[in-house]
A and B are shown apart, each in its own frame.
Chain A
Amino acid sequence: MRVEHEVPRTGRVASPRKDESVLPREFEAWYVEHRSAVFRYVRFRVATREAAEDVTSVVFMKALRSFDRYDPRRAAPRTWLLRIARNAVTDHLRALRRRGSLHVSLDRIPDLVADVPSQDERVIKQERIQRLLNGSQKLRKADQEILSLRYGTGLSNAEIAEHLDISNNAVAVRLHRALKRLKSCVEAMAADPIEDR
Chain B
Amino acid sequence: MINEKDSEEHPLPDDLRALDEELSSIRYEERPSFGPELQAELARAWTTGPPTAVAVRPYLAAAALAGLLLAGVAVPSARASLVRILRVFDDVEPVEAPIRAAEVAAVPAPVEEARDAAAFVMVSRAETPAEAVEPVETTATLQPPIPPRMLDRAGAEALLQEAYPRHLQEERVGGLVWLRVWVDVDGRPSLPNVWRGSGVQELDVAALDVAPLLRFEPAVQSGQAVATWIEFPVLFDPEEEGDLPVIEPLTLDPMRLPIVHPRDQWEFDEPLDLATLPDWSGEAPSVLTPVESALVDAIGDPIVRRSLGPIESILSGIVPNGRAPTEWRASATAVLEGAMERAQANPAPLLALGRIRLRQGLRTDARMLFERGLRIAIDADPAVPPSVVAELHYERGRLTREGWLASADVGRVQSSAFEGRACAQARSSGQGVSGYASVERLIAWNYLCPQESSRVFERGFEAKNDDMADLSLTMGSFRAALDLVPGHVGSNVGLLVQLAAAERWEELLAGARRFARHSQGHPHALVLAGLALQRLGRTGEAAPLFDEALERLPSAEAVEIRDLTYVIDASEIARYRRLWGAERRDWEASYWLTRDRTPGTAVNEREIEHMARTTYAMLRFGGVMSDPGEVWVRFGGPKDVHIVDDGAGQLTEFWDYGSGPDITFVRRVASQTMDLTPEGRAYVDDLGKIFPPQ
**A, B in one complex:** yes
Interface residues of A (CB under 8 A from B): 1, 3, 5-7, 18, 20-24, 27-28, 31, 35-36, 39-40, 43-44, 48-50, 53-54, 56-57, 60-62, 64-66, 69, 84, 87, 91, 94-95, 97-99, 101, 105-108, 111-115, 120, 123-124, 128-130, 132, 147, 150-152, 156-157, 168-169, 172-173, 175-176, 179-180, 182-183, 192-194, 196-197
Which of A5, A22, A98: most chain B Cβ within 10 A? A98
Given the known interface contacts A40-B28, A113-B26, the answer about A172 and B10 at a Cβ–Cβ threshold of 8 Å is yes
Stretch at the interface among B307-315, B375-383, B565-573, B665-673: B665-673
CB of B501, distance to nearest CB on chain A (Å) = 21
In the complex, the answer to whether B112 meets A53 with C-beta atoms within 8 Å is no
Which of chain B's residues have a CB closer than 8 A to the CB of A87? 115
CB of B417, distance to nearest CB on chain A (Å) = 19
Q: What are 5 sample pairs from A and B whose C-beta atoms fall under 8 A apart?
A: A22-B46, A23-B42, A61-B42, A113-B27, A175-B10
In the complex, the answer to whether A66 meets B117 with C-beta atoms within 8 Å is yes
In the complex, the answer to whether A94 meets B31 with C-beta atoms within 8 Å is no
Given the known interface contacts A24-B46, A172-B9, the answer about A107 and B31 at a Cβ–Cβ threshold of 8 Å is no
In the complex, the answer to whether B649 meets A112 with C-beta atoms within 8 Å is no
Which of chain A's residues have a CB closer than 8 A to the CB of B24? 151
Of B46, B114, B115, which contacts A18 at CB under 8 A? B46
User: Is B49 an interface position by the 8 A CB rule?
Assistant: yes
Give chain B interface residues in 8-23, CB to chain A under 8 Å.
9-10, 12, 15-16, 19-20, 22-23
Which of chain A's residues have a CB closer than 8 A to the CB of B39? 23, 28, 31
Give chain B interface residues in 667-684, CB to chain A under 8 Å.
668-671, 673, 675, 678, 681
Which of chain B's residues have a CB closer than 8 A to the CB of A6? 114-115
In the complex, the answer to whether A107 meets B49 with C-beta atoms within 8 Å is no
Of A60, A91, A97, A179, which contacts B20 at CB under 8 A? A179
In the complex, the answer to whether A123 meets B678 with C-beta atoms within 8 Å is yes
Of A99, A107, A128, A183, which contacts B671 at CB under 8 A? A107
In the complex, the answer to whether B114 meets A69 with C-beta atoms within 8 Å is yes
In the complex, the answer to whether A7 meets B115 with C-beta atoms within 8 Å is yes
User: Is B296 an interface position by the 8 A CB rule?
Assistant: no
Which of A5, A23, A130: most chain B Cβ within 10 A? A23
In the complex, the answer to whether B42 meets A31 with C-beta atoms within 8 Å is yes
Give chain B interface residues in 314-366, CB to chain A under 8 Å.
324-327, 360-362, 364-365
What 1/0 mask marks residues of chain B from 22 to 58 whose CB sits below 8 Å from any chain A CB? 1111111111001100110111011101100000000
User: Is B658 an interface position by the 8 A CB rule?
Assistant: no
User: Is B62 an interface position by the 8 A CB rule?
Assistant: no
Which of B34, B117, B326: most chain A Cβ within 10 A? B117
Since A105-B649, A111-B31, A193-B647 are in contact, a sample of 8 more A-B pairs with Cβ atoms closer than 8 Å, ordered by chain A residue number, is A7-B115, A56-B38, A65-B45, A97-B209, A98-B210, A132-B26, A168-B9, A197-B649
> CA–CA, A98 to B670, complex, Å?
21
User: Is B191 an interface position by the 8 A CB rule?
Assistant: yes
In the complex, the answer to whether A115 meets B12 with C-beta atoms within 8 Å is no
Give chain B interface residues in 182-216, CB to chain A under 8 Å.
190-193, 209-210, 212-213
Of B3, B5, B45, B668, which contacts A107 at CB under 8 A? B668
Interface residues of B (CB under 8 A from A): 2-3, 5-6, 9-10, 12, 15-16, 19-20, 22-31, 34-35, 38-39, 41-43, 45-47, 49-50, 111-112, 114-118, 159, 162-163, 190-193, 209-210, 212-213, 324-327, 360-362, 364-365, 432-433, 646-650, 666, 668-671, 673, 675, 678, 681
Which of chain B's residues have a CB closer than 8 A to the CB of A147? 23
> CA–CA, A128 to B381, complex, Å?
51
In the complex, the answer to whether B46 meets A5 with C-beta atoms within 8 Å is no
Given the known interface contacts A3-B111, A57-B41, the answer about A179 and B19 at a Cβ–Cβ threshold of 8 Å is yes
CB of B119, distance to nearest CB on chain A (Å) = 9
> CA–CA, A96 to B361, complex, Å?
13
In the complex, the answer to whether B647 meets A194 with C-beta atoms within 8 Å is yes
Which of B46, B209, B432, B669: most chain A Cβ within 10 A? B46
> CA–CA, A132 to B35, complex, Å?
27
CB of A117, distance to nearest CB on chain B (Å) = 13
Of A64, A129, A156, A183, which contacts B6 at CB under 8 A? A156
Which of chain B's residues have a CB closer than 8 A to the CB of A23? 39, 42-43, 46
Which of chain B's residues have a CB closer than 8 A to the CB of A101? 362, 364
Of B16, B163, B668, which contacts A98 at CB under 8 A? B163
In the complex, the answer to whether B28 meets A111 with C-beta atoms within 8 Å is yes
CB of A174, distance to nearest CB on chain B (Å) = 11
In this complex, what residue of A is CB-closest to B110? A3
Which of A36, A69, A157: most chain B Cβ within 10 A? A157
Which of chain A's residues have a CB closer than 8 A to the CB of B648? 193, 196-197
> CA–CA, A4 to B234, complex, Å?
28
In the complex, the answer to whether A98 meets B159 with C-beta atoms within 8 Å is yes
Given the known interface contacts A48-B361, A64-B42, A197-B648, the answer about A95 and B115 at a Cβ–Cβ threshold of 8 Å is no
> CA–CA, A141 to B324, complex, Å?
31
In this complex, what residue of A is CB-closest to B3? A156
Of B34, B47, B111, B212, which contacts A5 at CB under 8 A? B111
In the complex, the answer to whether B6 meets A157 with C-beta atoms within 8 Å is yes
In the complex, the answer to whether A197 meets B647 with C-beta atoms within 8 Å is yes
Ranked nearest first, the 3 interchain pairs of A and B with the lowest CB-CB distance are A65-B117, A172-B10, A193-B647
Of A43, A69, A123, A172, which contacts B28 at CB under 8 A? A43
In the complex, the answer to whether B115 meets A62 with C-beta atoms within 8 Å is yes
> CA–CA, A115 to B212, complex, Å?
38
> CA–CA, A192 to B647, complex, Å?
9
In this complex, what residue of B is CB-closest to A154? B24
In this complex, what residue of A is CB-closest to B669? A105
In the complex, the answer to whether B114 meets A98 with C-beta atoms within 8 Å is no
In the complex, the answer to whether B2 meets A157 with C-beta atoms within 8 Å is yes
In the complex, the answer to whether A120 meets B681 with C-beta atoms within 8 Å is yes
CB of B367, distance to nearest CB on chain A (Å) = 12
Given the known interface contacts A22-B43, A50-B361, A98-B210, the answer about A62 and B117 at a Cβ–Cβ threshold of 8 Å is yes
In the complex, the answer to whether B27 meets A114 with C-beta atoms within 8 Å is yes
In this complex, what residue of B is CB-closest to A156? B3
> CA–CA, A48 to B30, complex, Å?
11
> CA–CA, A158 to B30, complex, Å?
26
Which of chain A's residues have a CB closer than 8 A to the CB of B327? 57
In this complex, what residue of A is CB-closest to B25? A114
In the complex, the answer to whether A120 meets B364 with C-beta atoms within 8 Å is no
Which of chain B's residues have a CB closer than 8 A to the CB of A194? 433, 647
Which of chain A's residues have a CB closer than 8 A to the CB of B16? 176, 179-180, 183
Which of A22, A65, A66, A156: most chain B Cβ within 10 A? A65
> CA–CA, A179 to B23, complex, Å?
10
In the complex, the answer to whether B114 meets A7 with C-beta atoms within 8 Å is yes
In the complex, the answer to whether B41 meets A112 with C-beta atoms within 8 Å is no
> CA–CA, A106 to B111, complex, Å?
40
In the complex, the answer to whether B12 meets A176 with C-beta atoms within 8 Å is yes
Given the known interface contacts A128-B22, A156-B6, the answer about A53 and B115 at a Cβ–Cβ threshold of 8 Å is no
CB of A113, distance to nearest CB on chain B (Å) = 5
